Amino acid sequence: MKWCLRLCTNNLIFALALFSAIGAPSAVGEDNSNLETESGFFQEEDESAVAAEEAGDEDLKQSSEEEEEKTEGSEEEPAVAGEEGEAEASNVADEEEEPPVDEPMDVEDLDEPIYASPPDDKADEPTSRVYSEQRVRPVENLPPSRTQEPKIDPNVTTEQKVPHPFADKGLIRITRDKVYLYQTEVSKQDRASSVRFGFFDPIDLASPDTDVAFSDLYPESEMPMLFFDYEWQLWKGFGRLGWKLGTGIYAASGNGAFKSAENAALTPRENFTFVAFPNTIGVIYRLQYWDTQPVVPFVEGGGDVFTFAEIRDDGKSPKFGLAPAAHVAAGAAFNLGFLDRSSLIELDRDFGINSVWLTAEFRKLLGLSDKFDFSADIINAGFLVEF
């Protein structure tokens, strides 16, 4: 039964296909007739355009040509639009993937000012004013070679005097090693102080009770003496004149001696210590005519008062005394700042010391007491600072 139905269905489909094939020529003929009719219509439009052209109607011909171009362009427009859409989409995708990076602009090298928009708070207000801004590096923050380049002649090998912006600050010289040398103000100088060291041996000093020489009581009598002086320089002109106060210290030790002649050859068991302080006041004249003079001779004279004490280790009380004296001295001072001027400038800046000298002196002490004669010759040396 099923195959009978299939057979009938196939026959029906075959009959319909045969019927459609038989009716096809008439449809073709109808289409051709329509084409001919349409062809005749377009032919009529062409003839009217020619007639209008011959009659001088240029507008009608142009309008017909524009209509033809529009109809032809409308057929290609979708494809072109599709291609452009794809290109724009790809560009948008690229822009989203790689955002543009603004390269920094060196505004210092621009010759023209940079124009910017008005401030944000006035962006809504209508304005015709042009806002400009030019960024310039401050001059004071630049090195000297950028602010004012000295004009140096490369052919000259000696020192050249050129203008420099730091000249107002005291710059006087620039070395080959780029060391800047400045002229500094020297502090006021009217005082001096010295420390000296020498050996003192009072050969004329003796005990007033036994008339025994000091060198016998203190066998090691030639001992060091330390001097301290403080000087006020009162006058500067043809040399320097000042007055000074000073003191010092001297010490010696021994065993003493017996008073009786019978025991004079014996050595006592007690130990004695002799201490003396040479206190001086005097006037000094220095043959110094300029501050950087390398060698300065000087002479000095004044009065002295020796205060002394003798201390013993047997429990008895010490003895004290004093004796007047006078002194004259002569010597020379060598300027150490002459060797290193830069160090002297630092001393003046940090401590107010204007100069440092190495001194050597010969001093003659003249005892003025018959009981205690401290006459002696002393050669001493030390350091003197002026401030």
Residue 196, pLDDT above cutoff 80: yes
**Angstrom distances, CA of residue 232 to CA of 110, 190, 343, 345:** 66, 6, 24, 22
d(CA 340, CA 358): 14
Cβ–Cβ < 8 Å for 301, 327: yes
| 217-236 pLDDT per residue, tens | 888 888 999 999 999 999 99
Residue type at position 330 = A
Structure confidence at residue 213 (pLDDT): 87
| 256-265 pLDDT per residue, tens | 666 666 666 6
Structure confidence at residue 41 (pLDDT): 37
Please give the structure tokens belonging to residue 158: 């000696």
pTM, two decimals, is 0.54
Structure confidence at residue 202 (pLDDT): 92
Place of tokens 């030390």: 382
Which DSSP category does 186 fall into? P
Structure confidence at residue 368 (pLDDT): 94
Structure confidence at residue 382 (pLDDT): 98
Place of tokens 């401290």: 374
| 99-119 pLDDT per residue, tens | 554 554 444 444 444 444 455
Taking each helix axis from N to C terminus, what angle separates 2-55 and 58-97, rounded to the nearest 10 degrees? 120
The CATH number fitting domain 191-386, selected from 3.40.190.10, 3.90.470.10, 1.10.10.10, 2.40.160.20:
2.40.160.20
Structure confidence at residue 34 (pLDDT): 39
| 133-158 pLDDT per residue, tens | 444 445 455 455 545 555 666 676 67
Place of tokens 């990076």: 101
State the pLDDT confidence band at 283, using cuts at 50, 70 and 90: very high
Q: Where are the beta strands (DSSP E) in the chain?
A: 114-116, 131-133, 171-174, 180-182, 191-200, 223-237, 239-254, 272-286, 295-312, 319-335, 355-367, 376-386
Residue 300, pLDDT above cutoff 90: yes
Domain ranges of the chain: 114-183, 191-386
Please give the structure tokens belonging to residue 48: 């009217």
Structure confidence at residue 345 (pLDDT): 81
Reference 286, options 161, 175, 184, 189; nearest CA is 189
Lowest mean pLDDT among 167-181, 271-285, 361-375: 167-181
> Residues of the chain with pLDDT > 70: what percent?
57
CB-count exposure of residue 68 (10 Å: 0-12, 13-18, 19+): exposed
